Structure 1
Amino acid sequence: MIVFAAIVPHSPLLLEPIGKENQKHLKKTLEALQKLKEDLYLSRPDTILVISSHATRHASHFSINLHDEYQTDFRDFGDMSTSHEFYPDLELITAIRREGYDSNHPITLDSNVNLDYGAGVPLELLHSIGLTKKIVPVSYSGLSPKEHLAFGKMLQEVTQNSSERIAVIASGDLSHCLTSDAPGGFHKHAREFDETIQRAVAELSSSTLLSMKMLLIEETKSCVYEQLLILFGLIERKRLRPEILSYEAPFGVGYLVAQFHL
């Protein structure tokens, strides 16, 4: 069963060895993540299912990274020391693959020891001593928005039938085009995109997500849309309370932290 669900950003700047002096501009986000870290610990999960946008992406299949162990790795960002080990939840991965096959949701397995930073940053920020190290790293696909929502619903079926206590983390950043010096340059509709995403989260509205224009999603260069659809499918029809803990965009990229209280 699901015992924790959240949306978090995955900027490596959120890690102190990388962000350094930039962290003073991320105060709201870091404070919200600290609250999430505490709530995640209190939820006592047996495993963490993390949905990332920076793992291997397949055009026609969703994917799970299955390896005998995983390492967080931030050497590409100049951090040679931050690294922790995690391990696959073989039972849950097997159940997901079986249900995916039975319900015609294509799933492929990749095998990488190094976790992509979309999974690695949230795990570094939210993990604490005594918390489970079992994870299921899931990646989105090139399939349609409706198929991502349906994939999430399939995952909900699996988690409901599991005896494990499961935490779900959707990892992603909002628009990368909010200011002229943003990584993606400025786009006049970037603010509209971020506001729409926040409204969808606050209302837990998959219909709001599905009604968004794909051109807007692509042009504002976000990396959160598909993960949200999967997450919404996972928690749809559950009795919960969405809470936006923080939103800020100090570097022209939208960082959203939100929790769904179960």
Structure 2
Amino acid sequence: MNPFVFSCIAPHGGEIIPELEGSQPKRMSLTRESLIRLGNEMNNANPDTIIVLTPHGTRINGQFSISDSERMEGSVAENEATFSMNRKIDRYLAKNIAEAVAKANLPVGTINYATAAGPFSCLPLDWGAIVPLRFMPDVPIVVITPSRELSYEKHLQFGKALREAVQASKKRIGLIASCDWSHTHDENGPYGYHLAAKELDQEVVTLIRQNQLEKMSDFTDDFVDAAKPDGIWQTLILAGAILPEERQVKLLSYEAPTYFGLLCASI
């Protein structure tokens, strides 16, 4: 049985947030509409806590990173506007996840800042978490950041340990895999242009439609380096946490309106 009340793959381009859409509101409108749908589905699932898998959180080389502060806060700035967010952390769940991961013999660290507890115990909330959470219910969160120094297989194993921790919890828990895809769609973008961007994103769309998320672990290092996606690692954790026969995957949208790919899927 799927241990999550609702889960999704969601992107994190800043302009998706309505308050940051600027003078070109249609540029990411398809994705924005899909995230509104995902947010409504998450809200209807009534989670007590939402786990966010983000590539842009506090990284620990060679270890999975799990938030263990009292709260997190951060801002996203786009188009001369700023959107800010402050969320409480479900520290009890965070510690239980860390224990399950350590028991699976995977490298993991819980992170905090300034003080062990109280109002000064606050970590930065990155845009990989802020953007999808803008559309979600305001409940406590746990933020997890993968490590690209670790193999794809270890990310699948982390997902299995995450599953065990969630199954042991009496709470209703949601899951967001925050993923942007290839970043080399535009020669004027920061990473330039490469044909691999379109090819990898097309393969990702196919794998999601076919509910074969685990097969992203077959992508070669050269292919990934050329396309520069940042969604594979979070998706593999989700794949490990939710068994294929438990997934009802629905692709809501894909677009690449700028230099990186944006995809929304409900699970």
TM-score of the pair, normalised by structure 2: 0.90
Q: 1:162 to 1:237 in 2, by over 3 A?
A: farther
Matching of residues 1-262 of structure 1 within 5 Å: 1-75=3-77, 78-80=80-82, 82-111=83-112, 112-124=122-134, 126-127=135-136, 131-141=137-147, 142-260=149-267
Q: Match of 2:115?
A: none
Shift in alpha-carbon separation, 1:240–1:185, aligned structure 2, 3 A: same
Shift of residue 221, structure 1, vs aligned partner: 1.4
Q: Does structure 2 retain, via aligned residues, the 8 Å contact 1:73–1:115?
A: yes
Distance in 1 of aligned mates of 2:12 and 2:239: 19
Residues 155 and 236 in structure 2, CA contact (< 8 A), matched pair in contact too? yes
Q: 1:206 to 1:250 in 2, by over 3 A?
A: closer
Tell me the CA shift for residue 132 of structure 1: 4.2
CA RMSD of aligned residues (A): 1.7
SS at match of 1:256: strand
The 3-state SS of whatever aligns with 1:74 is strand
Post-superposition shift, 1:190?
Answer: 1.1
1:36 Cα shift? 0.7
- Which secondary structure state, in structure 2, belongs to the residue aligned with residue 23 of structure 1? coil
4+ residue runs over 6 A deviation: none
**Cα offset for 1:12?**
0.7
Alpha-carbon deviations, 1:76-105, whole Å to 9, x = none? 87534x223211112211211211222212
User: Aligned-pair distance for 1:238?
Assistant: 4.6
d(CA) in 1 for partners of 2:261, 2:140: 29
Distance 1:177 1:153, change over 3 A: same
1:20 alignment partner, SS class: coil
Whole-angstrom distance in 1 between the partners of 2:70 and 2:81:
24
**Aligned residues of 1:46 and 1:132 also touching (Cα < 8 A):** no
Displacement of 1:51: 0.3
1:155 partner letter: L
State the secondary structure of the residue aligned to 1:183. Answer: coil
**SS in structure 2 of the partner of residue 22 of structure 1:** coil
User: What is the alpha-carbon distance in structure 2 between the residues aligned to residue 20 and residue 41 of structure 1?
Assistant: 27
**Post-superposition offset of 1:137:** 0.3
Q: Which amino acid aligns with 1:72?
A: G
**Aligned mates of 2:101, 2:204 — CA distance in 1:** 28
Q: Give the C-alpha shift of residue 204 in structure 1.
A: 2.3
User: How far apart, CA to CA, are the structure 2 residues paired with 1:180 and 1:11?
Assistant: 18
* 2: CA distance, partners of 1:133 / 1:6: 16
Measure the CA separation in 2 of the matches of 1:206 and 1:32: 20
Secondary structure of 2:81's aligned partner: coil
User: Compared with structure 1, are the counterparts of its residues 205 and 91 closer, same or farther at alpha carbon in structure 2 (3 Å cutoff)?
Assistant: same
Matched residues in 2 for 1:135 and 1:87: separation? Answer: 6
Question: What TM-score do you get using the length of structure 1 for normalisation?
Answer: 0.91
What SS does the corresponding residue of 2:87 show, helix, strand or coil? strand
Q: Any conservation in 1 of the 2:211–2:244 contact (CA below 8 Å)?
A: no
